[in-house]
Amino acid sequence: MNSPQLIDIGLYRPGMGACYLIADSHELAIIDCGTQYSVPDILSAITDSGHQPGDVRWIIPTHVHLDHAGGTGRLLACCPQATLIAHPNGLPHLIDPSLLQASASQVYGAEHYARHYGDLQPAPESRCQAAADGATLALGQRQLLLLQTPGHANHHICILDQATGDLYTGDTFGLSYHELSQPHPWLIATTTPVAFDPDAWQASLDRLLALDPVHVCLTHYGRYPQPAQLAPQLRASIEQHRNIALAEEPNPSNGRLERLQQALTAQLIPAACRHSGLSTAQVQAILTDDVTLNAQGLEIWLTRRAKHRTATPHPS
């Protein structure tokens, strides 16, 4: 069985984000697809592999964050035989991406959003299918197993290639940038807004590891062997993020985002420097955006916890 082809989606810098091309018996599946600006590179990779866009059977974003799914509508339009598969919670936002675009623009800022993501193209509902938990998709002679894996996002799926043991994890297995993963992989959680759920995330990891995958294929970034040996790093990072947020929870909400950013910076930057041997300035250049997004996600998690406490009646 051929290994999957990694395609750099060209977001921000080389080695930041990837999608994967799987080929079997003249049929293709594309897992994650970057932004609409990534589509030309994906189409080039298809033709360079000796195939045509008409050979694409499945387009499968792991979740609808725009670095994973922003290009789905445009890519679907270029691949006339393809069906879009996405989590049932996320699929409506790919069919009508107006709310997705508005919320992402608010998170990133209008100028940044326009430069890196642009106007989203809707996916025709007739060419879309919700990913049922535990369902399989035929691709040539192999089967792709779909698993709903909340924790990073409540609209997240992972995909196991049952022929090779490759597990396509989106953000559920964290991120591991190559620059920081020398000489060994260094994994951290990504708590991007808005659905961080540490308990669900740990349960999702339990479920994925029970499948005994051979490799994990991360969107950020690359294909790594021995997932069971890597998982403790990610589990620890999830708990570190939870603990940073809980330590902040008793404090006033005013200034919270800045304090969370400071705490994450103090935790992540020195750890990455120790692991990689890079300077503080080099690591900050790689992780600054992730620290900001992680802090935003933790702030939203704390807000959600506060609302839940307010809505839950206390026993008399």
Residues 127 and 166 in one domain: yes
Instruction: Look at residue 3 in the predicted model and tell me its pLDDT.
Output: 84
As averages over each run of 10 residues, the pLDDT of the chain (316 residues) reads 90 95 97 96 97 98 96 97 98 95 85 92 97 98 98 97 98 96 94 94 98 98 97 98 98 96 98 96 96 96 91 61
Please count the structural domains in the chain. 2
| Distances 216 to 153, 166, 211, 301 between C-alpha atoms, Å | 18, 6, 12, 27
Rounded CA-CA distance 18/217 in Å is 9
Residues 148 and 288 in one domain: no
Residues 130 and 212 in one domain: yes
Please report where in the chains the tokens 């594309």 appear, as a residue: 30
Instruction: Look at residue 311 in the predicted model and tell me its pLDDT.
Output: 81
Residues 35 and 91 in one domain: yes
> What's the whole-model pTM score?
0.95
Q: Which of 232, 251, 266 is the last residue of a domain?
A: 232
Q: Supply 242's token pair.
A: 């939870």
What range defines the domain where residue 48 resides? 5-232
Are residues 159 and 58 in contact, defined by beta-carbon separation less than 8 angstroms? no
Residues 190 and 288 in one domain: no
| Distances 128 to 40, 57, 91 between C-alpha atoms, Å | 22, 12, 8
Nearest to 156 by CA among 121, 124, 122, 192: 192
Instruction: Look at residue 106 in the predicted model and tell me its pLDDT.
Output: 83
Residue 200 lies in a domain: yes
Contacts of 271 (CB under 8 A, 6+ apart): none
Residue 316 lies in a domain: no
Residues 169 and 255 in one domain: no
- What CATH number is attached to the domain comprising 93? 3.60.15.10
Residue 252 lies in a domain: yes
Q: Which of 217, 232, 247 is the last residue of a domain?
A: 232
Residues 302 and 169 in one domain: no
Residues 244 and 106 in one domain: no
Residues 297 and 186 in one domain: no
Residues 142 and 278 in one domain: no
Instruction: Look at residue 316 in the predicted model and tell me its pLDDT.
Output: 47
Are residues 230 and 194 in contact, defined by beta-carbon separation less than 8 angstroms? no
Residues 95 and 144 in one domain: yes
Instruction: Look at residue 175 in the predicted model and tell me its pLDDT.
Output: 97
Contacts of 182 (CB under 8 A, 6+ apart): 276, 277
Residues 11 and 129 in one domain: yes
Q: Which helix (H) or strand (E) is 48 found in, with range?
A: helix 39-48
Q: Which of 232, 255, 277 is the last residue of a domain?
A: 232
Residue 219 lies in a domain: yes
Instruction: Look at residue 309 in the predicted model and tell me its pLDDT.
Output: 83
Q: Which helix (H) or strand (E) is 145 found in, with range?
A: strand 142-148
Beta bridge partners of 203: none
